[in-house]
Homo-oligomer: A and B are copies of this chain.
Amino acid sequence: MPKIAPPQPWRDALGTRVRELRAERQWSQETLAERADVHTTYVSGIERGRRNVSIDILHRLAVAFGVEIRDLF
């Protein structure tokens, strides 16, 4: 039986927010990945709520979007 991870709504909320900010700028996941210096698959994982994102990555996302870290939440 595969272990089912408990729901982590805070990760889902971050994913939704990142997708929102990305869509506002009409960026592809590749464009965001390039600007934030992360792998494209990592952006996809963040947006699907699958990543336990660190504050260093949150900082790079915020800089890429031109917002404050708190604006990612």
With a CB–CB cut-off of 8 A, which chain B residues contact A52? 54-56
Which of B55, B68, B70 makes the CB contact (< 8 A) with A11?
B55
A73 within 8 A of B: yes
> Could you say how many copies of this chain the assembly holds?
2
- In which size bucket is the chain A interface? 10 to 19
A69 within 8 A of B: yes
Determine the main DSSP class of A at the interface with B: helix
- Which residues of chain A from 42 to 69 have any CB-CB distance to chain B below 8 Å in the complex? 52-56, 58-59, 68-69
A26 within 8 A of B: no
Interface residues of A, Cβ cutoff 8 Å to B: 8, 10-11, 14, 52-56, 58-59, 68-71, 73
